[in-house]
Amino acid sequence: MVSEKNIAFLRERNARYLVGTPKAQLRDFESALLDKEGWQSVQSGLEARLIAHPDGKGEEQYVLCRSTARAEKERAMLARQTEKLCAELQKIDTALRAKPDQKSGAIERRIGRWLGKYPAAAKVIQATVERDPGGAACALTITSHLEKGRWKDQAHGAYLLRTNCTETDPAKLWRWYIQLTQAEAAFRTAKSDLKLRPIYHQKTGRVEAHILVCFLALAQWRVLEQWMHGKGLGTCARKLIAEISTIKSMDIAIPVRRGEAQTELTIRTVARPERHVAELLVHLGLELPTRNRILAAPPTASAAGTGQM
């Protein structure tokens, strides 16, 4: 997320920006989110609408988006976290009922660790330690915060964009934002897939060179995605690379003796891929070499004899 300091810096330069906002800021636009009117379809399962900035100055506007697929994913993630958190809290409750704990703060720390492990569920699940007349922790009361749970369900799949662009088409603004996220993904691709990290880049030339490499990586990534799309394989280039990376090749060094000379014959061979990978290669129109390749051959008898003279 972009800080207010960075936003102010962009304004001083009269620069245009289109950035994401914290999830908590959605709360300020709850009525617009629940309103059924004013939404524009961007693509299948995705809607967006423009919202004027509350200050009324007209310098900024918001793009409120909601995705059906994203909502289903977030609901499933919250359900899994809630189930796991409640199971762990129930274990603590069962243990306390069987044997009360006299240690001060030990149970709270144990509960805190599980709440920290499942932060999304921790926002709607509350755990209260019950104590007996002697002050020992004897049970655990597990409750759900209905208001927070209701808002969580309403906000699933929704996110808010902030911009000072004067464009009035929310669909176009959303596409611009996606292009920006794709450019950011190019930097992540350079760091993860290409293993290029901007370490010790302090000079302008080195920074510009790193940006150039990231741009080239983005261009190649987009070409690969378009190629996959043309072959009917979607656009998940990372998944394709993961499948192709399972293909193994090896170099075999065979010792060869010619008279007194000891040399090596190096042969490269490609292993047969898994069936689903082989089908993927056929779909892409790619062929693996079927014959071994000689990388380094031993010298001929005449050359070996010349070398001994």
| pLDDT tens per residue across span 194-242 | 566 666 667 888 878 877 877 787 788 888 888 888 888 887 888 888 8
Q: 130 - beta bridge partners? A: 139
Amino acid at 229: H
Verify that 55 and 100 share a domain, yes or no. Answer: no
Q: Which residues of 144-178 are buried (b: 16+ CB within 10 A; e: fewer)?
A: eeeeeeebbeebbbbbbbbbbeeeeebbebbebbe
Domain with 270 in it: 246-297
Does residue 300 have a pLDDT over 80?
no
DSSP assignment of 198-213 equals -TT--SHHHHHHHHHH
Verify that 18 and 162 share a domain, yes or no. Answer: yes
Verify that 161 and 268 share a domain, yes or no. Answer: no
pLDDT in tens, 67-82: 999 999 999 999 999 9
| Sheet strand arrangement including 40-43 | 18-20, 158-163, 61-67, 46-52, 40-43
Per-residue pLDDT, 308: 44
Verify that 23 and 160 share a domain, yes or no. Answer: yes
Verify that 218 and 255 share a domain, yes or no. Answer: no
**Cβ–Cβ under 8 Å, residues 273 and 281:** yes
Verify that 83 and 142 share a domain, yes or no. Answer: yes
- State the pLDDT confidence band at 309, using cuts at 50, 70 and 90: very low
- State the pLDDT confidence band at 307, using cuts at 50, 70 and 90: very low
Verify that 79 and 116 share a domain, yes or no. Answer: yes
Whether 24 is in a domain gets the answer: yes
